[in-house]
Amino acid sequence: MNLNPSALNEKPLSRREFISRMALGGGALVLISGCSHWVLPGPGSKQREKIYEYIAVDYTKCTGCRTCEAICSAFNNPISVDGRMVAGPGNPALSNIFVHSFNPDVSVPAVCARCTDTPCVNACPVDQDPTTGYRAIFQDTNYGTITNDPDRCISCGNCVDACREGSVGILAQHPETDRPMRMCTLCDGDLQCVSNCPYEALSLIRVIDDQPYYRMSPDKIAKKLSDRWYDLSA
């Protein structure tokens, strides 16, 4: 899988550039998903740099329209009737991105953070496969995406609890199978939520150095935004 380069900023942002970009965005650009790669930063470079790639949200642009949910679901969980695919938006309940709505009005899209310490994987009680080393939920070593193995999963829900307690809490149990759902696939590299957001609130950015805003829970993000946007002391 190669991430669609048109979705990426041309060169990685340094920490200083990232902070100044946050300031330009009203301080509301928060990272919701990340993974790291070692890359050569440019033609002729010999020294590799560690690059972090994130889906970022600009909350000053997000209207809570939920287009991302419908588009994500259509791509990753297409609906079929009598074996024939149905064109158009998918079922938002099966989307891998979930838009939390808060009062006062704050919308917080959340997606798997592709955590480097994988609380979900660590919580899985299924033994590691002797060949692959995988439990019933495992992480891709290149892109950090999380996958569930339906043949080995016992639907215990431990991974969902671990995600809620140790990370962004995006995982949920499927209403019919109880297996984990809402793991971001990165859409085979062409991030559908990023390219189809009508308000350009989502972007894929490359940043040198890990970021403090990575893996913040939707509740904490909403609290920060409410404090910033609304004067609740009156």
| Residue (of 70, 58, 66, 60) closest to 95 by Cα position | 70
Q: Which residues bind ligand SF4 (CB under 6 A)?
A: 72, 76, 96-97, 111-115, 118-120, 123-124, 126, 136-137, 146, 148, 153-159, 162-163, 167-168, 170-171, 179-180, 183-187, 191-193
- CB-wise, 62 or 146, nearer to ligand SF4? 146
Least Cβ distance, residue 92 to ligand SF4 (angstroms): 11
- CB-wise, 168 or 225, nearer to ligand SF4? 168
Amino acid occupying residue 2? N
- CB-wise, 12 or 180, nearer to ligand SF4? 180
**Is the CB of residue 55 less than 8 Å from the CB of residue 29?**
no
Least Cβ distance, residue 80 to ligand SF4 (angstroms): 19
Least Cβ distance, residue 143 to ligand SF4 (angstroms): 11
Q: Is 181 helix (H, G, I), strand (E, B) or coil?
A: strand
**Is the CB of residue 55 less than 8 Å from the CB of residue 213?**
no
Report residue 160 as tokens. 């969902």
**Is the CB of residue 113 less than 8 Å from the CB of residue 184?**
no
Place of tokens 């470079």: 45
Rounded-to-integer distance, Cα 93 and Cα 149, Å: 21
In the beta sheet, which residues pair with residue 34? 54
Least Cβ distance, residue 20 to ligand SF4 (angstroms): 26
- CB-wise, 97 or 106, nearer to ligand SF4? 97
- CB-wise, 21 or 174, nearer to ligand SF4? 174
